[in-house]
Amino acid sequence: MEVYEQPFTLVQEVTIPMSREIAGLAAQPNATLTIEGVLAYQACDDAICYTPVELPVSWTFDWRPLVR
């Protein structure tokens, strides 16, 4: 059985819809936006698959006005 043993990167595109709440946030000076989620994964080696894990994740972004 082949096992992947190198570092890797996970990528997830995120779209933030322009709602009244987001528009209000965007108008505030020094505003931040936090996106929260859960990374669910299961690791395996050449002998066993381990119990699935759910790991909470979050990213906080500084909100900046759109430059046109």
User: Stretch 11-40: mean pLDDT, rounded?
Assistant: 86
Range of the domain at 44: 1-68
Closest CA to 37 of 17, 16, 51, 54: 54
**Tally of domains within the chain:** 1
User: Stretch 14-39: mean pLDDT, rounded?
Assistant: 86
24 has a pLDDT exceeding 90 = no
Which one has a higher pLDDT value, 57 or 31? 57
pLDDT at position 57, please?
A: 95
42 has a pLDDT exceeding 60 = yes
